Chains A and B, each alone.
Chain A
């Protein structure tokens, strides 16, 4: 993939994440912070499909943005074709693992498997 496309994704995920993370934080503010973290309340959040979908979107956006940012830093630190290939594939793998792990939580908590 051309670097310009990757970086456009980087900017796009950043803007998307800003909007959705703001909603995510505001949801904590709808009630007392400690209360909002109570088990029943958090589970209720996951059971509410639009919110669960939003969490999934936040997870994808932040993982892509975060690991691409890390990829950029690592590419600048050291050069060499093997190293760069490792960094590129490594960040995609890390993204995938984090998304899979986070999705598992959203899915299991949302479906009440706990």
Chain B
């Protein structure tokens, strides 16, 4: 039973933010879903202070061994989340981690403060793959800026803070170290890799409505392994590893690379019960092949 930021979880498999909608899934698959919930903790999609409609379609492109998406974080905003979604998510049989994003310190602070007060929220994950209004760079691409934001919001809550790191930066381990130093209780990675797809038959025209998107799925798994290993060897806080996991074996590799938990994302699109299958495969692997150092 992994201990993650004081949460006792039944197994190490959680979902990646934005890849599983527990409320929509309950509507599609019925309440039985809760009885066999695929994850040991549920991570919400990203909540912002104001509601967002998301990016213009098309939003999806099937890539080689993966998916390029430019969804654009549509959500009801903090007020809508607290009023409509939180009561439903609180009924889940597993702890709730709420993912938030803000483009200024003030926005992040307002989100952290409001969610930190809610006992239904077991942890807060900060999505820092957002352009910083002050610098124009992604907040999570810049160790100093990320440290500045975290130091400002850390004192606002005792709820564990997880920083969801972006892979679109030169040195993810340094950003992770800055997050740890500024009081992050855990880090999670990788977020999607920035990518682009062209319209078939239309030279030079991007397919996605937002021009670029984020790549996920098995295509990014080896990037994830490298970044998780680099970060885990640099920080002492727990690491949530994710990127292209489709099997218990993939999950085990991330654990061996230093992750405490493993998130399943794009694979849940193909099979909504994938989390349950992967955690089953993982415990079978652990039972059959006790950890042996391969060095």
Is chain B found bound to chain A in the same assembly? Answer: no
Q: Which B residues form the contact surface with A (CB < 8 A)?
A: none
